[in-house]
């Protein structure tokens, strides 16, 4: 994957985290495996402030990987444990928080992004159905450690700004878990890498029966992008992320991202889309530079949540 050439920092970070996920064999792990492993280890209650030593962490990870449906290497537990202690034990105490441990494992798991959000909401709760500012701050601090592992810690903004956003800049001491879930589903800037990681993973084995307008590759593998300004222009993941353009299609054109197989647009649909977005060609070119925070012109289709 062209991590160093990717123009969008969100995708670059997600690609790096995807490589980390596979290195630690977390692409074979689902949230149910994580939950089962913690339930089987005495005292490892993720809702408490329990601290786990290296032996307890190794036991959790061994049980988790043993639950996986596919075989993983014997070194998976050791490699994952080493990563987690580097992230959460900077002082070298030999202990990590059970909640921090489970938060990172959920983020790196192979589950859908919605399943991850629901699990993270449960982890951040105080048992009363509410989430306090300190609870959300702790959750986001733990999640922010994942980009740190791939040297992308400065990309997505601060935890304080994200907490303020979730609490709508108000002074309420807590929000409901349903409110937190809705906020997470809105894809806050701090966590943009998390849904992007899922889309990269979900599209890995997808093959679209169309030709890339830029590099002429057929079929398009992975993520696919349909231009909303050009008629019948499809772009592959590689060309989009690396900013390749042609005389007809430019990098500032609004696009729709697809990570699953779906019906290709007809000429009538393409023309309708072109007319609907004709104003992009008439208005001054604004907000066209690709930055960390995705703009509204980039939308995407997710297989599980959008079809149900």
State the pLDDT at residue 243: 86
Q: Are residues 162 and 211 in the same domain?
A: no
Q: What is the CATH number of the domain that holds 114?
A: 1.10.238.10
**pLDDT (tens digit per residue) in 50-63:** 899 999 999 999 99
Q: Are residues 16 and 88 in the same domain?
A: yes
Last residue of a domain, one of 202, 229, 245: 202
State the pLDDT at residue 14: 94
Residue 3 lies in a domain: no
Residue 4 lies in a domain: no
Please report which confidence band the pLDDT of residue 41 belongs to, taking 50, 70 and 90 as the band edges: low
Residue 289 lies in a domain: yes
The pTM of the full predicted model, rounded to 2 decimals, is 0.80
Contacts of 153 (CB under 8 A, 6+ apart): 144, 147
- Number of domains, the chain: 2
State the pLDDT at residue 297: 37
* CA nearest to 117, candidates 153, 98, 143, 99: 143
What's the mean pLDDT in 131-149? Answer: 95
* Structural domain span for residue 134: 9-202
Q: CA 237, CA 226: separation in Å to the nearest integer? A: 11
Q: Are residues 260 and 302 in the same domain?
A: yes
Residue 130 lies in a domain: yes
What's the mean pLDDT in 181-207? Answer: 93
What's the mean pLDDT in 182-198? Answer: 95
Last residue of a domain, one of 186, 202, 218: 202
- Using the predicted structure, report yes or no on whether residue 6 has a pLDDT greater than 70: no
Q: Are residues 71 and 182 in the same domain?
A: yes
- Using the predicted structure, report yes or no on whether residue 44 has a pLDDT greater than 50: no
**pLDDT (tens digit per residue) in 281-293:** 455 444 433 333 3
Q: Are residues 70 and 108 in the same domain?
A: yes
State the pLDDT at residue 288: 38
- Using the predicted structure, report yes or no on whether residue 2 has a pLDDT greater than 80: no
Q: Are residues 152 and 218 in the same domain?
A: no
Q: Are residues 237 and 183 in the same domain?
A: no
Contacts of 263 (CB under 8 A, 6+ apart): none
State the pLDDT at residue 31: 96
């Amino acid at each position: 994957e062209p991590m160093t050439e990717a123009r969008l920092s969100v995708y670059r970070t997600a690609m790096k985290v995807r490589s980390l996920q596979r290195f630690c064999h977390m692409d074979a792990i689902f949230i149910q495996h994580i939950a089962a492993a913690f339930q089987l280890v005495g005292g490892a209650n993720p809702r408490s402030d329990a601290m786990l030593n290296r032996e307890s962490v190794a036991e959790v990870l061994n049980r988790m990987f043993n639950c996986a449906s596919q075989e993983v290497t014997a070194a998976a537990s050791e490699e994952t444990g080493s990563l987690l202690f580097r992230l959460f034990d900077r002082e070298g105490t030999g202990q990590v928080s059970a909640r921090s441990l489970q938060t990172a494992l959920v983020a790196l798991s192979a589950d859908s992004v919605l399943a991850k959000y629901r699990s993270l909401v449960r982890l951040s709760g105080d048992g009363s159905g509410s989430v306090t500012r300190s609870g959300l701050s702790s959750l986001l601090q733990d999640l922010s450690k994942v980009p740190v592992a791939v040297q992308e810690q400065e990309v997505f903004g601060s935890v304080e700004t994200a907490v303020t956003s979730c609490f709508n800049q108000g002074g309420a001491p807590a929000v409901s878990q349903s409110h937190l879930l809705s906020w997470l589903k809105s894809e806050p800037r701090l966590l943009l890498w998390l849904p992007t990681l899922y889309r990269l993973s979900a599209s890995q084995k997808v093959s679209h029966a169309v030709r890339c307008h830029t590099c002429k590759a057929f079929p398009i593998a992975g993520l696919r992008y349909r231009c909303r300004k050009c008629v019948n222009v499809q772009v592959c993941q590689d060309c989009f992320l690396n900013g390749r353009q042609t005389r007809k299609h430019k990098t500032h054109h609004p696009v729709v991202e697809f990570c699953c197989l779906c019906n290709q647009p007809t000429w009538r649909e393409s023309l309708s889309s072109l007319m609907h977005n004709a104003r992009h060609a008439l208005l001054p070119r604004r907000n066209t530079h690709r930055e960390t925070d995705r703009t509204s012109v980039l939308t995407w289709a997710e297989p599980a949540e959008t079809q149900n």
